[in-house]
Amino acid sequence: MAESKQKQSNKKRPIIDVDIHEGALYEDLLPYLDNPWKRYITDSDWVMEKHLPYPIPGPDGLNRADAKTPDGRPAGTDLSFMQEQLLDEVGHEYGILTSAFDPSPSSMHGWYEMAHALASAYNDYQIDHWLDKDERLYGSVHVAAQEPQSAVREIERVGSHPKMVQVMLPIDDRPWGDPYYHPIFEAAERHNLMIAMHHNEPPSYYGKYPRYFVEWHCVMPNTHMVQINSMVFNGVFEKYPNLKLMMVEAGFTYAPALMRKMDQQYKALRHEVPWIKRLPSQIIREHVCFSTQPSDELSSEEFMTFVDLMGSDEMICFSTDYPHWDYDSPFQALPSLGEDLENKIFRENARNFYPKLQNTRRPVSQ
Amino acid sequence: MAESKQKQSNKKRPIIDVDIHEGALYEDLLPYLDNPWKRYITDSDWVMEKHLPYPIPGPDGLNRADAKTPDGRPAGTDLSFMQEQLLDEVGHEYGILTSAFDPSPSSMHGWYEMAHALASAYNDYQIDHWLDKDERLYGSVHVAAQEPQSAVREIERVGSHPKMVQVMLPIDDRPWGDPYYHPIFEAAERHNLMIAMHHNEPPSYYGKYPRYFVEWHCVMPNTHMVQINSMVFNGVFEKYPNLKLMMVEAGFTYAPALMRKMDQQYKALRHEVPWIKRLPSQIIREHVCFSTQPSDELSSEEFMTFVDLMGSDEMICFSTDYPHWDYDSPFQALPSLGEDLENKIFRENARNFYPKLQNTRRPVSQ
């Protein structure tokens, strides 16, 4: 197994990385904020609610200690440092920015108007400081999804930017398949945007956090399953057939059991959801992709077993999770999988997933 | 696949069934209740809180319509009818009673004293009407686990009954690994009892139910994962090395992904849980079993793939879930798995799991 990993790791190739957490300081957003929002930040040290109750694992908390910039800015908040440490070093063809929003504006449990203002300011900042500055970087539209009308307005405002590829939804205590949120999906589809989901900080486990960070990390996939389940049975993919869903940062090994469970239950209970005409596993295969990080350290054989159980090798997309402490290097994270499958996972599956990447192929000089 | 199922289904053999939901009417419990508890039931029509917000799937709700007794008693509340319809018909060597408590006394969010009185009355009823009446039936100690001191008292009171094999804990909004509940595990171990967990009705998904019954049923395994995770990382199996955990009614296909995720996270974060000295997957293999129902309708090949990914064929125990609507027949539910593995799943794994079954082997006349 060590040897097969070696083989893969030696290969430098252009990749599409579907999860890069770029970030900002509050001061970076001030030019994009009006009052009163601006004044809450400048005059009252307002910060978004935070809930994570654990000690943080590494010397720079949730981030790689070596990702702090030389002039002391937090990891992921400086384009030129990210270019040097990540994009040039790895040889990215494209990277999809998912943000370090923590918690997401969509996770704020009060003051939705401030959430909307922050999301909107962040989108402008992202376009100015990242998307328009590096042709390799594509972005995510941030919204205050707890208030779908404001989210739709924001998607209308920036969703047609040529480098915005998806709408970002946090996974916390809202199952997004609920019809209340469908206007968001309608707007996303109208703008050729996909949906990405990423777990967020507020409690998702029985309404409270497990006791340990490690325990919380092990059941992150559970919250992803709840969302896939919610999106499928609420008929989101029947109503919006061009919509796809990228599940970010919980790996893919949970998919085979979920797909079987959903098929078996659907066969017994489909009278309850008559608008669902296909097997859930088929809907998932056509509409859902999974990012690889954090790698489960599978052997080549195990990896292939899970791919076989998923019934498709087009649902897995590589991600680094840069600059988080548990960053996956494309040279080390995956076992050797053969040229065809590696091409799919490191690049082609993501290209097929994001329509805005399909007609473009960046010249790569690596 | 149809053919391989056929082969297995033709075989009648003595089985150990680890999940039979026997039940009672409130009036059956009155002889075992003192006042004031008794009076709340006789004089005020008190019933336990119920939350399930869905229409129920079959013509007799959550039960098989044909399990209602000829004289109109609810399914599962009459021994002689169960003997005829289930135990004789199938040819049980043993059946483990898990009860139809709905919700469990341990799930009551108030009035713990009434919960304790009900659990205690039910244990007496179970011994008198079931365990002492049929040598095939073994039972579960019911407790009010939200109040561990009362739970320990009840385990001390009935746990040494020769046919009590486990303590039953519902899966709802309490992660049972929490040290607050460890006295329960200490008492269980002292009485040679295992722990069984079964999802219960109160909301476990972001604090509320998903929109549909089918959706809820598909993510039941999630709540089981949270409990395994909680029990392992809180060190329950390090403190009580003879304790084992039977996860009832969520199948087993979720186990391989969970075990890998827990191992990988443990390797990165074990400094947080230094009392855990072995890989989580090893702890799970040594301490956790999974009941089969509801069958995921796997082919023989798929079934074996999941067994291989679990790294042990001694963790799966057959269950019927009688008399629920989605009852699994031992003649139809599983694919053909070969004589050795079928013997393990239909009987030997359960015998090894429950110490009180190990030195006994009921003569079977089938």
Residue B3 lies in a domain: no
Asked whether the beta carbons of residue A212 and residue B272 sit closer than 8 angstroms, the reply is yes
Pick from B62, B178, B201, B218 the residue to mutate for testing the A interface (most A CBs within 10 Å).
Answer: B218
Residue A206 has a pLDDT of: 61
At CB < 8 A and 24+ separation, what contacts does A298-301 make? Answer: A298/A253, A298/A335, A298/B260, A299/A1, A299/A4, A299/A335, A300/A1, A300/A4, A300/A335, A300/A336, A300/A337
Residues of chain B positioned with their CB less than 8 A from the CB of A262: 218
DSSP secondary structure letters along A140-193:
EE---TTSHHHHHHHHHHHTTSTTEEEEEEEESS--TTSGGGHHHHHHHHHTT-
Alpha-carbon distance of A43 to A47, in angstroms, equals: 11
Q: Three-state DSSP class for A19?
A: strand
Q: Kindly indicate the confidence band of residue B292, based on its pLDDT and cuts at 50, 70 and 90.
A: very high
Q: Tell me what the pLDDT averaged over chain B comes to.
A: 92
pLDDT band at B51 (very low <50, low <70, confident <90, very high): low
Residue-wise pLDDT tens digits, B108-155: 888 899 999 999 999 999 999 999 999 999 999 999 999 999 999 999
Does the pLDDT at position B1 exceed 50?
A: no
Å between A152 CA and nearest CA of chain B: 23
Residue B6 has pLDDT above 50, yes or no: no
Residue B176: the pLDDT is 95
Question: How much is the average pLDDT of A99-127?
Answer: 91
The answer, yes or no, to whether residue A310 has pLDDT greater than 80, is yes
Which of A145-159, B7-21, B226-240, B321-335 is predicted least confidently?
B7-21
pLDDT at A203: 57
Q: Cis omega before residue A162 (within 30°)? A: no
Whether residue A4 lies inside any domain: the answer is no
Helices and strands: H and E segment counts in chain A: 16, 8
A80 touches chain B (CB under 8 A): no
Number of helices (H), then strands (E), belonging to chain B: the values are 16, 8
A/B interface, count of CB pairs below 8 Å: 177
Using a CB-CB cut-off of 8 Å, the residues of chain B touching A222 are 219, 222, 225-226
C-alpha closest to that of A178 among A224, A226, A139: A226
Residue A130 has pLDDT above 90, yes or no: yes
| pLDDT 10s digits, A255-296 | 999 999 999 999 999 999 999 999 999 999 999 999 999 999
Give ∠ CA A159-A164-A167 in degrees, rounded to 5.
70
Contact B211 A225 (CB under 8 A): no
Taking the mean position of all CA atoms in its chain, how far away is CA A302? 24
CB atoms within 10 A of CB B137: 22
Q: Which pLDDT belongs to residue B8?
A: 58
Range of the domain at B37: 12-357
Q: Residue A242: name the closest of A198, A291, A185, A281 by CA.
A: A185
Q: What is the pLDDT of residues A69-83, one digit of tens each?
A: 999 999 999 999 999
Confidence tier at A56 by pLDDT (50, 70, 90): confident
* Burial of A34 per CB tally in 10 Å (0-12, 13-18, 19+): exposed
User: Among A104, A52, A59, which Cα is nearest to A211's?
Assistant: A52
DSSP letter at B281 equals H
The helix, strand and coil proportions of chain A, stated in percent and rounded to the nearest 5, come to: 45, 15, 40
Give the pLDDT confidence of A184-227 residue by residue, as tens digits: 999 999 999 999 999 986 556 666 788 899 999 999 999 999 99
Examine residue B151 and state whether it is found in any structural domain, yes or no: yes
Q: How far apart (Å, rounded) are the C-alpha atoms in residues A75 and A61?
A: 10
Quick check: is B207 in a domain?
Answer: yes
Partners of B256 on chain A (C-beta within 8 Å) are 253, 257
Å between A288 CA and nearest CA of chain B: 17
Residue the block writes with tokens 């955990």: B245
pLDDT at A326: 93
- Let me know: does A283 contact A244? Beta carbons within 8 Å: no
Q: Do the domain assignments include residue A5?
A: no
pLDDT band at A3 (very low <50, low <70, confident <90, very high): very low
- Residue A168 inside a domain? The answer is yes
Helix (H, G, I), strand (E, B) or coil at A137: strand
Q: Which residue of B has its CA nearest to A270?
A: B214
Question: pLDDT confidence of A2, banded at 50, 70, 90?
Answer: very low
Task: Give the relative orientation of helices A255-269 and A300-310 as an angle to the nearest 10 degrees.
Answer: 20
User: Which residues lie across from B167 on neighbouring strands?
Assistant: B141, B195
The pLDDT assigned to B363 comes to 63
B189's tokens: 């171990």
Interface touch B219/A206, C-beta < 8 Å: no
Going across the sheet that includes B245-248, the strands are B15-20, B92-97, B137-142, B164-171, B194-199, B245-248, B288-291, B316-317
Helix (H) or strand (E) holding B79: helix B79-82
* A residues 285-324 closer than 8 Å to B (CB): 294-298, 302, 305, 308-309
**Residue of A363 and B92 predicted with greater confidence:** B92
Structure tokens at A127: 């376009």
Residue A134 pLDDT: 97
What per-residue confidence (pLDDT) applies to A352?
A: 97
pLDDT band of residue A9 (cuts 50, 70, 90) is low
- Chain B interface, mutation test: which of A52, A197, A205, A208, most B Cβ atoms within 10 Å? A205
Q: Which pLDDT does position B2 carry in this prediction?
A: 43
The reply to whether A228 falls in a domain is yes
How are strands ordered across the β-sheet holding A288-291? A15-20, A92-97, A137-141, A164-171, A194-199, A245-248, A288-291, A316-317
Give the dihedral of Cα atoms B150, B151, B155, B157; nearest 10 deg.
20
Q: Residue ranges of the alpha helices (H) in A12-136? A: 26-29, 37-44, 79-82, 112-126
Distances (CA, A) of B95 to A150, B11, B317: 57, 18, 12
Report the alpha-carbon distance of residue B215 to residue A265 in Å, rounded: 9
d(CA A171, CA A125): 23
B266 vs A214, A229, A273: nearest CB: A214
Q: What is the mean pLDDT of residues A19-41?
A: 94
Strands (E), B31-136: 92-97
Which pLDDT value is given to residue B209?
A: 80
- What lies within 8 Å, CB to CB, of A295 at 6+ separation is A251, A328, A333, A334, B264
Paired with A1 in beta bridges are none
Q: Which of A211, A217, A268 sits opposite B265 (nearest CB)?
A: A217
Tokens linked to B175: 């992660």
Q: What is the rounded average pLDDT of the residues B29-47?
A: 90
| Residue A45 clears pLDDT 60, i.e. is over it | yes
Lowest mean pLDDT among A246-250, B33-37, B44-48, B267-271: B44-48
* Residue A349 φ then ψ, to 5°: -60, -40
For residues B156 and B144, what is the distance between their CA atoms, to the nearest angstrom? 13
Instruction: Say if A164 falls within a structural domain.
Output: yes
A309 → closest Cβ in B174, B214, B305 = B305
Q: CATH number, domain at B190? A: 3.20.20.140
With CA atoms as reference, the chain B residue closest to A205 would be: B206
Say which of A222, A302, A309 has its CB closest to residue B226: A222
Which of B174, B211, B214 lies nearest to residue A266, judging by beta carbons? Answer: B214
Predicted local confidence at residue B123, as pLDDT: 98
Task: Count the domains in chain A.
Answer: 1
Query: What residues 230-289 of chain B have any CB closer than 8 A to a CB of chain A?
Result: 230, 233-234, 251, 253-254, 256-258, 260-270, 272-273, 280
More confident site: A94 or A11: A94
Give me the pLDDT at residue B204, please: 60
